[in-house]
Amino acid sequence: MSEAIDANQQKATVTAHQINISVAQQLANLVKSTLGPYGMDKEMVDAAGKVVMTNDGATILKETNLKHPTATIITEIARTQEENCYDGTTSSVVINGELMKKASLLLDKNIHPTRIAKGFNLANNKAQELLEEIAIEADESILLQVAKTAMTGKSVESDDSVLAQICVEVTNSTTMDNISIVRRPNGKISDSLAIAGILVDREKVHHNMPSSIDGAKIALIDVDITLPEFANTIQVQVQDNEAVKQFIESRKGQLQEIAESITSSGANVVFCMRDIDGFVSEYFAKKGIYAARRVAKSDLEAVSKATGARIVSSIDELSESDLGKSELLEEVMVGDKPIIKLTGNKTSDAVSVLLRAPTQHVVDEVARAFEDAIGVVSVAIEDKKVLAGGGAPYLYLSKELKEYANSVGGREQMAVSAFAEALEIIPSALAENSGLDPLDTLIALRQLHTSGSIGIFGVDVEEGGGKDMREAGVLEPLRVVSQALQSASNVASQLLRIDNIIEMVRGPEIGEDGFNY
């Protein structure tokens, strides 16, 4: 009897590991082909036919309908990576899949899963130390290369120097939450620029309004500057001319009151999140006031932060203390459309980037790549440490950990060696995705990483073989690699410690069967 239970437990244990290994590998395979500068995009279609094109590991996992609990745990890796490092999501999931694959070979040799997990932890701790040792100090020229590397493979390459320059400039000058990005199609990527101040993608509502205001006093209003709906649609008997006249007059009177309550605050610029009545626009224009309508909430918030203006929802309560201040408001032409520029703001933290590209689709893609690059560069600035890319650190770690394994006793030694081997998956996938032979590339790279190597040789995706990634300018923050390893390894250990996947079936509601649960 007890033997039968043992056998059953054994079976359940094997099954849980097999499932976890299989799910981890499936997810790794799903994203692996997107890795690196020549990674392929995935076209994802949901049930409603919405298409998402992406080459980003985190996005792929987010958009894929993953219901398995193990898949949820692994998707967490990508989310943590994205949140902390803005990059390296694909790498972390791919490493996790490879660690699970190696673990499965050790399980086949009857090595206990907790031993494997322990070995993986030892290897990861050693790897973290080794990475610190080969880290490179990040100076200004290195930051430019970090920005370029972050944007590689994202269809902005031909103009990556302009964008990298802007990226480093703005990230150096302020914090990430003070950077706003405006996208404008019908231009060249190289026409993109950054300004110290705020750009608002709107224009004046009335052609007679001034195109620039010195000493702007800005009112931010997030409600309609019109009369309530019923007053616009009220039915008037057309036979009664006097009533019509009276109605129009009283309407004008009410609108005039609204307009005056705004101007009496001393505002000479009005940004409204909703609509502005034609009569009010006319009135503003006559008074030399600049006004824009349908200004995005995010823009109102950015202007509020930079100029000190308070966003007001009740027009009659607007007063001078609610107004924000900018030295200059200008409406400037960008391509064939104007844009509003606010400079000399109350606080100098706000920075805006105007991204240009030929079409809306391209400018959206450029914006995604640029936003990621800002995150990556800010990580490099914060930590001041980077590593060579192209799989170089993984090859270095692989070599060093194989040696370290010899100093580890017991079954854990095999797990450390397996961990070391698993890391070669990154250079191998980079080679494969670039149309190179992965095995030949690994052999060439292992030779370059013999004694004395300082972890700088990575995959030469153009010519094949290996090359010095510092010379090639392929650099990424230390944190991207160390976090990718850390979470891949932690989750692998976590999955190995699970010996049963139990489906929790919801029982009856509390009290339904007379019991309290």
Residue ranges that bind Mg ion, judged by CB under 5 A: 87
Which range binds ligand ADP by CB under 6 A, 35-43, 206-214, 448-456, 503-511?
35-43
Q: Which of 405, 371, 386 is nearest to 141 (CA)?
A: 386
Q: Which residue is nearest to Mg ion (CB)?
A: 87
Between CA 373 and CA 379 the distance in angstroms is 10
Please say if 34 is a catalytic residue. no
User: What is the DSSP-derived secondary structure letter of residue 276?
Assistant: B
Q: Which of 217, 180, 471, 231 is nearest to 346 (CA)?
A: 217
Total count of residues recorded for the chain: 517
Between CA 488 and CA 491 the distance in angstroms is 5
391 binds, among Mg ion, ligand ADP, none (CB under 5 to 8 A by kind): ligand ADP
Q: Which of 90, 103, 84, 116 is nearest to 29 (CA)?
A: 90
Q: How far is the CB of 420 from ligand ADP (least distance, A)?
A: 18
Total residues contacting ligand ADP by CB under 6 A comes to 24
Please say if 90 is a catalytic residue. yes
Catalytic option among 59, 80, 90, 343: 90
Considering only 121, 152, 268, 482, the residue that binds ligand ADP (CB under 6 A) is 152
Q: Which of 373, 376, 487, 380 is nearest to 85 (CA)?
A: 376
Q: How far is the CB of 132 from ligand ADP (least distance, A)?
A: 18
**Backbone conformation region of residue 465, classed left if phi is above 0, alpha if psi is from -120 to 50, else beta:** left
Chain positions 89 to 148 lying near ligand ADP, rule: CB under 6 A, are 89-91
Please say if 89 is a catalytic residue. yes
Considering only 459, 478, 485, 492, the residue that binds ligand ADP (CB under 6 A) is 459
Chain positions 44 to 83 lying near ligand ADP, rule: CB under 6 A, are 57
Considering only 292, 430, 444, 456, the residue that binds ligand ADP (CB under 6 A) is 430
Residue 237 class from Cβ within 10 Å (0-12 exposed, 13-18 middle, 19+ buried)? Answer: exposed
Q: 117 is written with which tokens?
A: 């997990």
Half-sphere exposure of 252 (CA within 13 A, CB side): 9
Q: How far is the CB of 167 from ligand ADP (least distance, A)?
A: 15
Chain positions 261 to 320 lying near ligand ADP, rule: CB under 6 A, are none
Considering only 36, 113, 197, 455, the residue that binds ligand ADP (CB under 6 A) is 36
Please say if 56 is a catalytic residue. yes
C-alpha angle 36/40/45, rounded to 5°?
A: 135
Considering only 444, 445, 461, 491, the residue that binds ligand ADP (CB under 6 A) is 461
Considering only 17, 88, 163, 322, the residue that binds ligand ADP (CB under 6 A) is 88
Longest dimension (CA), the chain: 102
CB nearer Mg ion, residue 87 or residue 365: 87
Binding residues (CB under 6 A) for ligand ADP: these are: 34-37, 39, 57, 87-91, 149, 152-153, 389-391, 426, 430, 458-459, 461, 474, 476
Which residues are part of the catalytic machinery?
Answer: 56, 89-90, 372
